[in-house]
Amino acid sequence: MTLRQAFLAQAEACRRLDSPFMGRLMTLLAERLEPGAPVTDRLFSWTKDIGPSGASVPLRLAGARPPRLFPPLANSPLRWSAGRNQGGV
């Protein structure tokens, strides 16, 4: 399972469990994460099972978020378009 696939699988699980915010967050991370920072470099070089059957890295990353990111600041990249179809964030 690729990193993108792991985030998309977690996004679907979140939506099924009635957690639309986390579903949108996981989808955005799947679409937008790129190597080039210490954390993302580590994620993209993960050698073991990154998905829900293994290390569940998407959930771990979401749980490790810095507190100042939520609620997202006006210029935060997490505001990408999370609420575009939901009437704004």
* Domain-embedded: residue 71: yes
What local confidence, expressed as pLDDT, does residue 85 receive? 44
Distance, CA of 71 to CA of 35 (rounded, Å)? 25
What local confidence, expressed as pLDDT, does residue 12 receive? 94
User: Which residues span the domain enclosing 74?
Assistant: 3-82
* Domain-embedded: residue 44: yes
What local confidence, expressed as pLDDT, does residue 27 receive? 93
Q: With CA atoms as reference, report the closest residue to 13 among 2, 23, 3, 25.
A: 23
* Domain-embedded: residue 87: no
pLDDT digits (tens, 9 = 90+) for 19-39: 888 899 899 999 988 888 888
Distance, CA of 59 to CA of 70 (rounded, Å)? 16
Please check whether residue 9 is in contact with residue 51, taking contact to mean a CB–CB distance below 8 angstroms.
yes
The count of C-alpha atoms lying within 13 angstroms of the C-alpha of 48, restricted to the half-sphere facing its C-beta, is 6
Into how many domains does the chain fold? 1
* Domain-embedded: residue 35: yes
pLDDT band at 4 (very low <50, low <70, confident <90, very high): very high
Residue 47, pLDDT above cutoff 70: yes
The reported pTM is 0.69
